[in-house]
């Protein structure tokens, strides 16, 4: 997307309305508790009032070579899902909930339309493996091995490995992986010489810091940063609110950072 462009999907972005937090809360409460006509009107106003939020999110994906109009439309789908599923009784800003939903929708679109085509059968194998992995994790309270997953599926181990690797979205070296509000850590910052003494000492420190986390914290961080799930997806699978996931995640990252540095 060119930054000088002010029109996308026929919408003049310079004229997009921006809602205040007070206006958002009022609309969300109407969507939740109003009459059918009031809900529809409030929903439309909420969508139109958050299109700038969609625009800001899709700018993160401008280096993928995708049509910006397509990304914007996909982002709007994520916005609509966020509006329809948001619980206004939670003490959470709508943008905190909406941004991950929009990002997740865009990432699913990019994954499904990746230039590196993955066959339907391999994709189905990968999704079935992930479902079995989640079921075994809940049942055994531990991460299952690839051998265990393959045995239940009745397929060779290497088929499971290849399928899971095939659906992993390529990550840019400039993809941010952590930010404390001041300094941002990118993927390229984590790449180093394995023979460097500093590197392996840091790895030991990280492993020790993670080992001190609770099982729930480990599971949430695994789902968020190794499986690429949004906070809402994690909340749905674990059975807690998105706000709780956010607090647990932040607390775990803060302790890891404190133990390392």
| Per-residue pLDDT reduced to its tens digit, 41-68 | 999 999 999 998 898 888 888 766 677 8
Position 152 scores a pLDDT of 92
**Six-digit token string for 229:** 């799930």
Cross-strand partners of 39: none
Residues 129 and 164 in one domain: yes
Helix 242-260 vs helix 231-238: crossing angle, to nearest 10: 110
How far the first Cα of the chain sits from its last, in Å, is: 39
**C-alpha closest to that of 82 among 32, 45, 47, 39:** 47
If you write DSSP's letter for every residue of 186-229 in order, what string do you get? EGGGG---TT-HHHHHHHHHHHHHHHTS-HHHHHHHIIIIIS--
Tens digit of each residue's pLDDT (9 = 90 or more) over 236-255: 888 888 889 889 988 888 88
Rounded distance, CA 225 to CA 234, Å?
Answer: 11
Residues 141 and 44 in one domain: no
What letter does residue 160 receive in the DSSP assignment? H
Q: State the CATH number of the domain containing residue 44.
A: 1.20.120.1810
Residue range of the domain that includes 133: 116-168
222 found inside a domain: yes
1 found inside a domain: no
Residues 40 and 126 in one domain: no
Tens digit of each residue's pLDDT (9 = 90 or more) over 162-175: 888 766 655 555 55
Residues 185 and 240 in one domain: yes
Residues 66 and 163 in one domain: no
Select from 112, 127, 146 the last residue of a domain: 112
Select from 85, 112, 139 the last residue of a domain: 112
2 found inside a domain: no
89 found inside a domain: yes
């Amino acid at each position: 997307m060119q930054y000088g462009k002010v029109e996308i999907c026929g919408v003049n972005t310079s004229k997009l309305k921006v809602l205040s937090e007070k206006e958002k809360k009022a609309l969300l409460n109407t969507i939740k508790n109003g009459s059918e006509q009031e809900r529809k009107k409030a929903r439309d106003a909420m969508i139109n009032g958050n299109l700038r939020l969609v625009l800001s999110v899709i700018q993160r994906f401008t280096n993928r070579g995708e049509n910006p109009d397509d990304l914007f439309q996909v982002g709007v789908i994520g916005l609509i899902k966020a509006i329809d599923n948001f619980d206004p009784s939670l003490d959470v800003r709508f943008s905190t909930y909406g941004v991950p939903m929009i990002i997740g929708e865009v990432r699913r679109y990019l994954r499904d339309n990746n230039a590196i085509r993955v066959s339907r059968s391999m994709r189905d194998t990968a999704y079935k493996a992930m479902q079995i992995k989640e079921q075994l994790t809940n049942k055994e309270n531990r991460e299952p091995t690839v051998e265990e997953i393959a045995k239940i599926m009745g397929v060779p181990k290497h088929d499971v490995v290849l399928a899971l690797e095939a659906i992993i979205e390529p990550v840019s070296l400039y993809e941010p992986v952590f930010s404390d509000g001041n300094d941002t850590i990118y993927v390229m910052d984590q790449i180093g010489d394995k023979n460097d003494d500093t590197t392996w000492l840091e790895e030991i420190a990280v492993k020790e810091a993670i080992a001190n986390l609770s099982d729930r914290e480990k599971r949430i961080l695994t789902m968020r940063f190794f499986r690429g799930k949004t906070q809402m997806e994690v909340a749905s699978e674990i059975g807690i609110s998105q706000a709780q996931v956010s607090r647990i995640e932040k607390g775990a990252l803060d302790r890891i950072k404190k133990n390392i540095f």
